[in-house]
Amino acid sequence: MISSFLADPAFLEDIIRILFVFVLITAAFTLSTRNIASLLTVYAVQSLLLVLIAEFLYLIEGNKTLLAIAVLTLVSKVMLIPLFINLIGEKIKISRDLKFNYLEPTASLLVSMGLILLAYVFLSGFFNEYVLGKLFFMGAVIGLSLTLMGMLVIFSRRKVITKAIGYLTMENGVLLFGIFVADLPFIIEILIVIDLMILVLLTTILAIGLDSTIEEYHQHLQTLKIWSGRDN
């Protein structure tokens, strides 16, 4: 029963379209949620949606790279990265990111609607000379929109850890865009994941630095300043 559904491309395409909607919902959550634990869950769910999309697309297209991307995304973005950020979050004891820069959630939701329309208009201007299937065009639009919404998160949220989630969202957007626009060589995806890991690692180290020990260290430095720079 299920297998007959899974063999039907029209059904799969519909499912993917529904998943697109879910992806946008997660992006909207990222823009507005204040609680960091839920933000992380939302990110994990969003990555899982990408896994499912790649999975269903594989069923339609049969391109093995998609399967590899799905596995890689599952391991890195659904499991490892959220786990890692969660550990860091516990360590620096930040559980909420309350304040917003420039844009309050409602305003940023309105802006992101604008961004989605912009992405659509922009891409339809460029892809009209290409034979890109309807579903694939939609995927590209959603991917670009997700990237832009991630950027909005970086701009409008204050805490480094939330900004990092914004960056990760952007990265998800690029991945989605890549899945639908081109058959990228698999090696590139691996490189991106490595890059991502390093970035996450670095920003979290810096985020810890911002928290406690450094302040004490810095005060220590202030008191000793009279000695600085002189050779005796």
Contacts to other proteins by CB under 8 A: 126, 129-130, 144, 147, 150-151, 154, 160, 163, 167, 170-171, 173-174, 177-178, 181-184, 188, 191-192, 194-195, 198-199, 202-203, 206-207, 209-210, 214-215, 217-218, 220-221, 224-225, 227-231
| Least distance between other proteins and beta carbon 162 (Å) | 11
Beta carbon nearer to other proteins, 71 or 202: 202
| Least distance between other proteins and beta carbon 1 (Å) | 38
> 160-181 and 186-211 helices cross at what angle (nearest 10)?
170
| Least distance between other proteins and beta carbon 24 (Å) | 18
180 contacts 139 by C-beta, under 8 angstroms? yes
| Least distance between other proteins and beta carbon 193 (Å) | 11
Beta carbon nearer to other proteins, 5 or 185: 185
| Least distance between other proteins and beta carbon 215 (Å) | 7
- HEC profile of the chain: CHHHHHCCHHHHHHHHHHHHHHHHHHHHHHHHCCEHHHHHHHHHHHHHHHHHHHHHHHHHHCCHHHHHHHHHHHHHHHHHHHHHHHHHHHHHCCCECCCECCCCHHHHHHHHHHHHHHHHHHHHHHHCCCCCCHHHHHHHHHHHHHHHHHHHHHHHECCHHHHHHHHHHHHHHHHHHHHHHCCCCHHHHHHHHHHHHHHHHHHHHHHHHHHCHHHHHHHHHHHCHHHCCCCC
| Least distance between other proteins and beta carbon 3 (Å) | 33
Beta carbon nearer to other proteins, 11 or 84: 84
Beta carbon nearer to other proteins, 79 or 192: 192
